[in-house]
Structure 1
Amino acid sequence: MEVVIRASRWVVGGERTKSGLRLLPVRAYMDDMTLITTTKPCTRRLLQKLQENIQWARMQFKPSKSRSISIVKGQLTGERFYISEEPIPTVLEKLIKSLGRWYSADLKDTQQIEQLRRDLANGLKQINNTALPGKLKLWCYQFGLLPRLLWPLTMHEVSLSHGNQLERLVNTQVRKWLGLPKCVSSVGMYSKGALSLPISSLVEDFKCAKVRLDMSLTDSREPVVRGAALTLATGKKWTPATAVLQVKSALLHRDVVGHVQQGRGGFGLGALTPLWQKASAIERKTMVVQEVRRQEEAARCSKAVGQAKQGRWMSWEGVERKKLTWSELWGMESNRLSFIKLSFQTCSCGLGRIHLAR
């Protein structure tokens, strides 16, 4: 495919960005090929040249599996292109999916976000209708449904408000599977404080995925990818570009402060944090994601401080942190798990159960 692309892309010039960077007219990933040109004649010449080279390589294009889209002054037109005198369907006729993202005629992700919400609701319903206990249903969501949602959340223009709506659907089922009442706050379910469960927040994973994608584009080694990187649209409340800048500033400030000893251990006994200036590109991406998770945990702790009963664990002193693992959950009864969690959050239901246990 690389030989075919290099032998074909010279016939036309690519799109020029505002910064003056000339983009490549042909882009490919595995056996998927995307052509982006500025005029209709350029597109026809490029298609003809690609058809000749593909036939030389003893291969052929399938117009039925291809799609074409023409945009003139921001408006979608019905211009048709042909491969071997066979028309290529337009996006107005059939949708197209590329790298996990659907492209439709409205050029928006509104329908895809609604479809994502329906897929999440159906997935939670299927898991809930099984005869498994609650902890196994929770495991199915954490390792089965959640990873399937992260890629569409990363590729589509999903705002933080939509992410919060999706998480509220998840929280309803998680409380049910853990045997918790509706009054239990989501802060205690995802917090890594005195008692932490082996589940992750959907909004937190959504932010980490967006930050990881932003760094992959803006910090790429390829100048074409780095110069053509766009600002990811996630609404007005939170943007990945701003979050990355804030996290980088915090990590640089941590390098200036140096290693700070915590606890009663001697100097050098604590875990050393890597330096931002000496870290590689992969290590920097990992450090940024970890800092985003730390900020989310700090936001949850700030909410817990304002909760009179369920956030009382913030004022406990000398409490050893407990991190439950999946292996511990397997050998734990469901009633015991809900009792421990409610006792930790000290809500009214939990206090009643403690009184009965005494």
Structure 2
Amino acid sequence: MKFKPTKSRSLVLRRGKITEKYLFSLGTIKIPSLTEAPVKSLGKVFNSSLKDAASIQATNKDLETWLSSVDKSGLPGKFKAWIYQHGILPRILWPLLVYEVPISTVEGFEMRISRFLRRWLGLPRSLSSIALYGHNNKLKLPFSSLSEEFMVSRSRELLQYRESSDPRVALAGIEVRTGRKWRAAEAVDIAVSRLQQRVIVGAVAQGRAGLGSSRTPNYNKAQGKEKRSLILEEVRAGVEEKRTSQVVQLRQQGAWTRWEQAVERKVTWNELWKAEPQRIKFLIRAVYDVLPSPSNLFTWGKVETPGCLLCQKRGTLEHILSCCPKALAQGRYRWRHDQVFKAVADSICSGISYNKSTCPVKNKITFIKAGEKLAVPFRNTSPSLLATVHDWELRVDLAKQLKFPEVVAKTTLRPDIVVTSVASKQVILLELTVPWEDRMEEAHERKRAKYSELVEECRSNGWRARCQPIEVGCRGFAGQSLCRAYKMLGITGANQRRAIKLATNAAEAASRWLWIKRGEEWHVG
């Protein structure tokens, strides 16, 4: 065994205090003390104080240096946000894991990060951090919360101690210290109790899929990595529940919690790269109602009156994008409706053309081996309407007034889209509305009641009639009715996702243009 004095360290304690009075050496080579040369192992620094306060302060300075360097780099805002997500966040998590950092300190770090993210994305300081990090938001952004990742990391550390293959480590009762505000042991125990309660309750149906449609992992049967993953996911769920309880108390920025009929929307990094910065900026600020509308400017103390620039009524964002009587009379909302209508009509027209060009699949003979049983294939009991016949005809109320086919019924009503099949005597009525997201259900019931008598008349004439009102929110959120309509017509899978994206992008772009022109003269070219 060879002893290297330069790689060794000395520490002298006298009456409980560190002293530098005594020095050690090996021959003529001096052994440095921990005060002179601290030791760094696996990223953790051990100095003479044997405390983490100095290291936490150094981590704080490192974070400030990284954020300031990125902020001054001159890159576009979305590039700076990407550097945080994939560069700064993983790098800062390691010192937070190896040192005993209280959760209050981590929350302070996150507040600083959130300020930089808002600045890089062009968002106001009043925007809640829940908008940036929430997983259950209607608009999901691709950013991770430092506090949440810290909680999950420390919970994972605790599970590694508890479930160690070495019984001496597992029974040692090692404590993961994270301050008094949040404790990893309590969070893990709560997660385990919730998982055990879920085992007792059993599988619960969610949505319209029904029992057995998806695999639900059983906590009692899980082992090793799968078991730890279930616990950590439950810890994340607890953090998200706390966010939800906070956001429902926000009357303005938490209004999206009441969008029961709107489909959630996720902004991916791929979409963020391709989108214009002003588009993402408008989308986020519109969803959380933090755009500089006259009402908000009045609340912020920037203007003396909250009046709309067109009609002088209270100029909220809802009023400007959906309720202004003067904008309605000028045809602004009709123009936006037609932009979304074109996207929906093009998708349905493509679906009809595709079904006309496809040939029916011939029956195949299935061979089985001796001793095996023939697996009964799943049969779709409700095939898409467009696939039943090939003589569908599409009529749209665009450019020129739609005349309802007299062979079906005589009426003065003009649905937006009428799809008919003479061979099978079927007619489909689609009526599009681009409402404020809070009023999707109200718009759906109103349109359904408007065409109920026409549907009954069509049925009395021997036609199979269906009326499907569809909604696309004015801020770019598709209603569940649009998804049901596409599914009914047979536009599913990737085609449905593409069709929904076209419609939502059209609504968002049109509303942004209405916002830009909110105080100017309106001319439709």
Aligned ranges 1:1-358 → 2 under 5 Å? 51=1, 60-69=2-11, 75-76=17-18, 86-192=29-135, 193-269=137-213, 271-349=214-292, 351=317, 355-356=515-516
SS in 2 for 1:97: strand
In terms of Rg, which structure is larger? 2
Question: 1:77 deviation in Å?
Answer: 5.9
Q: Distance in 2 between matches of 1:166 and 1:337?
A: 25
Q: Distance in 1 between matches of 2:61 and 2:220?
A: 44
Which fold has the larger relative contact order, with Cα–Cα distance below 8 Å and residues 6 or more apart in sequence?
Answer: 1
Report if the CA contact (8 A) 2:203-2:211 is conserved.
no
Q: Distance in 1 between matches of 2:104 and 2:282?
A: 32
Report if the CA contact (8 A) 1:259-1:272 is conserved.
no
The answer to which structure has the higher helix fraction is 1
**Amino acid aligned to 2:171:** G
Question: 1:224 deviation in Å?
Answer: 2.6
Q: Distance in 2 between matches of 1:223 and 1:68?
A: 33
**Amino acid aligned to 1:320:** V
Change (3 A) 1:225 1:163: same
Q: Distance in 2 between matches of 1:69 and 1:219?
A: 35
Report if the CA contact (8 A) 1:64-1:88 is conserved.
yes
After superposition, the C-alpha distances for 1:8-66 in whole angstroms (9 at most, x for unaligned) are: xxxxxxxxxxxxxxxxxxxxxxxxxxxxxxxxxxxxxxxxxxx3xxxxxxxx4533233
* Structure 2, gaps ≥5 residues long: 294-316, 321-511, 519-525
Q: Tell me the TM-score normalised to structure 2 length.
A: 0.54
Segment of structure 1 superposing worse, 64-73 or 106-115: 64-73
Q: Distance in 1 between matches of 2:14 and 2:228?
A: 38
**RMSD between superposed Cα atoms in Å:** 2.2
Q: Distance in 1 between matches of 2:517 and 2:226?
A: 48
Q: Distance in 2 between matches of 1:232 and 1:300?
A: 24
SS in 2 for 1:349: coil
SS in 2 for 1:306: coil
Segment of structure 1 superposing worse, 328-337 or 291-300: 291-300
Question: 1:73 deviation in Å?
Answer: 8.0
Report if the CA contact (8 A) 1:305-1:311 is conserved.
yes
After superposition, the C-alpha distances for 1:205-226 in whole angstroms (9 at most, x for unaligned) are: 1111111111111221112322
Q: Tell me the TM-score normalised to structure 1 length.
A: 0.78
